[in-house]
Amino acid sequence: MIASKRILITGGAGFIGSHLCERLLKDGHEVLCVDNFFTGRRQNIAHLLDEKRFELLRHDVTFPLYVEVDQIYNLACPASPVHYQFDPVQTTKTSVMGAINMLGLAKRLRKPILQASTSEVYGDPTVHPQVESYWGNVNPIGPRSCYDEGKRCAETLFFDYHRQHKLEIKVIRIFNTYGPRMHPQDGRVVSNFIVQALRGEDITLYGDGLQTRSFCYVDDLASGLVKMMATPSEVTGPINLGNPVEFTMRQLAERILALTDSKSKIVHRPLPQDDPKQRQPNINVAKKILEWEPTVQLEQGLQSTIHYFDNLLRGHQHPIS
């Protein structure tokens, strides 16, 4: 029996954060969910509010936080281009100041802290698939750099706190993740395609549609986060978490059209600046150290996600806003 812990999740009302809250509650822990609701949504965690071991605190991580916890998962940051480019200065502050504040809390408590980093630290990669030792190919002054460089700086801070203060850190790099509770207007490809298909609107493919992504179902990712936190103190990462099975954007669009039985047409739009052409994780380190790899196949995960969005559009769940 695992001893119950009090666990802080920043960004806990977000897409991934809410699933992690559920997972840790299911494992018998107390969860302190912290979110400022910039992109997180109260409806994502509404079903948890009556749970005695769940606590919700509205707070912006760019300001210090003083609480007593046993572990910290730092997930707070807008994660889709639509949201992180809306206020790029705040995005950078959330990544950098948020990391400083949460690391300061972990240092005071002498407790482990996990940083949810991103595959975006690799930029538009020249190494494929991406391995953790690759330093990346990032434009430091482009429209995506508020997120890319913010997350890179956060990783720097984590390892400096580890070296300078002997803090127990865990850094994972999240690759494309999808599933129920994705924000319907976050501009990410899975939610975009599903909503467009269900509404019978044109499905927008950027560029030639041959750029690739790898899609990890959110339950698999949450499992990887928990496994990483449970590793011995000498395991710091960074470790890639994602699904290594690669699909082109056109293949994804065609799969969603088939699953939704939609009559939507595929149309092409110009490729956004600095949009990576390839994105695929090498997860050999996760397999070896965490004994983790995804188990949910794309078709199965898409069906659950389509069901969620179908209910949302029909008004059976909270309205799109």
Please state which CATH number belongs to domain 6-313: 3.40.50.720
Take residue 87 and report the two structure tokens written for it: 């206020």
- φ and ψ at residue 39, rounded to 5 degrees: -120, -25
- Rounded to whole angstroms, the Cα distance separating 98 from 268 reads 38
161 is catalytic: no
pTM of the model: 0.93
Tens digit of each residue's pLDDT (9 = 90 or more) over 199-209: 999 999 988 88
**Could you give the CA distance from residue 212 to residue 318 in angstroms, rounded to a whole number?**
32
Quick check: 253 pLDDT over 90? yes
State the pLDDT at residue 316.
Answer: 57
Please state the rounded mean pLDDT for residues 42-68: 97
B/e letters for 24-54, b = 16+ CB within 10 Å, e = fewer, are bbeeebbbbbbbbebbbbeebbeebeeeeeb
For 131, counting Cβ atoms within 10 Å of its Cβ (0-12 exposed, 13-18 middle, 19+ buried), the class is middle
Confidence category of residue 48, pLDDT binned at 50, 70, 90: very high
What integer pLDDT is reported at residue 78 of this predicted model?
A: 77
Domain definitions of the chain by residue range: 6-313
Residue 128, CB half-sphere, CA atoms under 13 Å: how many?
15
Taking alpha carbons only, the member of 125, 61, 132 closest to residue 90 is: 61
**pLDDT beyond 60 at 321:** no
Active-site residue (options: 147, 161, 178, 308)? 147
What are the backbone dihedrals phi and psi of residue 262, each rounded to the nearest 5 degrees, phi first?
A: -90, 150
